[in-house]
Amino acid sequence: MREFLQGRVNLIKELLRSDIEFHYADLVLIICTVLSACASRRWPSQAIGFDKKKFVELLVIYSSPDFRTSWVSVPSLLNDGLISNNQTPYGTPGNDCDIYCDDEIDLSLEDAIEKYYPVPPDMLQEHCYASLIYERLRCGYSHEYCAAKNITHVQPSERDARISYIGRLANGTIKRMIGFHFDYLIRLAEYHVSILPSTCSKCPSCWWIDKYKTKKMKTRR
């Protein structure tokens, strides 16, 4: 299976080097399918409701720290009204229309929990890179062959980055468009193919995406 999945990654690389016409959606769909296959290889359960848990678990727990898959997208929090501009670099006069890369604006989950209290930690998890890749790319392109909200197929910055952001005016409000860089997504898929296990793993007692939801339930009791 590893050879087959690596072949899909190699296909993406060949398409990028070729003169063949393709769309962002085509390549992202292949990448996300490869990642989904890696998650299903580790936890082959077909139970309904586990697809997202497995996908996010794979990216957060089994990725190299350099991928920062548990980092929180600050512009995504802004788009959903969970924080305000003055809590971000956009709040500095003259910076409202700047293009930012992930290193310049996003935060680790731990730092985001501290800085953006009282936004619930489980809500911050929903805006981490792994969750956004699942919701905005994987689900968007798999179900409708288009990205979910506030995703741009045009890479906002040419700098070496995982993600970059650009503002777009819509109905009098600036939305922060999220651009996942191809190089980042390809490296992420290739990494997980390279560590694909030969046998399945036991499901965790608590999935990463449920970590703070479980704590909430215990507190209420």
Average pLDDT (187-202) is 95
Domain residue limits, the chain: 2-220
Q: What is the pLDDT of residues 69-91, one digit of tens each?
A: 999 999 999 999 999 999 999 99
Phi and psi angles of residue 172, each rounded to the nearest 5 degrees, phi first: 80, 5
Q: Which residues contact 101 (CB under 8 A, 6 or more apart)?
A: 157, 159, 161, 162, 163, 164, 165
Q: How confident is the model at residue 221 (pLDDT cuts 50, 70, 90)?
A: very low
Cβ atoms within 10 Å of 206's Cβ, excluding its own: 12
Whether the pTM exceeds 0.85: the reply is yes
Predicted local distance difference test score (pLDDT) of residue 183 = 95
**CA-closest candidate to residue 110, choices 9, 212, 19:** 212
